Amino acid sequence: MVLGVVALIIALAALVIALCRDPFQTGIAFCNPFNALGGYDLDTPAGAAKARDLIESKDDIRAQIALQKKFRDSKAVEERTSSFKIESEADFKKEKKTDKEKKSPWTGEYKVLFVSYKEDGEDQKEVVSVQKHSNGLWARHPLSSGEVGLTNKELQKKMEEWFVKPKNAFEINKP
């Protein structure tokens, strides 16, 4: 009987450790599996500003995912994803001029993608720029038409003309 109780206690302790142990931390670190954002102050502007950097510095994947889910409109994401289409693309090479740019692992090699999608049933267009990293992977990286225009006026013009302009400026924020 005593042995059975001891075994039950050990099993329950193992269950708690399995459910609450944080596999992303070294050593013995515990987290609340039901509230990934519990350790962060998101109720005040100052706390929210600091929390984002803290989440990133701790590589807290659970908190990053929980934060994305809180602010994501899943219907809008589904509509955009299902209608997302790359209409054309262009190559762009940005010359590294400053010491900081030269030391950066980003190559300066861009793909400028002209995409279309639907948002609230309306056709939308966007210019998306992705840059190649020295590890060979591509990631979204902002690139303005002004930067492009310094060396490629034709691509700058295409980027500026791509966006769908609203018929009336007052319709931009119309609910």
Q: Domain spans of the chain?
A: 15-71, 77-171
pLDDT given for residue 97 in this prediction: 79
pLDDT given for residue 64 in this prediction: 86
pLDDT given for residue 155 in this prediction: 94
pLDDT given for residue 169 in this prediction: 45
pLDDT given for residue 168 in this prediction: 47
pLDDT given for residue 2 in this prediction: 86
Among 126, 125, 158, CA closest to 140: 126
Low-confidence ranges of the chain (pLDDT < 50): 166-175
Output the DSSP codes for 32-94.
-TT-TTTTS--SSHHHHHHHHHHHHHTT-HHHHHHHHHHH--HHHHHHHHHH-EEEEEEEEEP
Distance CA 31, CA 19 (A): 9
pLDDT given for residue 21 in this prediction: 64
Q: Tokens 């609910």 identify what position?
A: 175
Instruction: Please give the model's pTM, rounded to 2 decimal places.
Output: 0.61
pLDDT given for residue 87 in this prediction: 95
Q: By percentage, how much of the chain surpasses pLDDT 90? A: 29
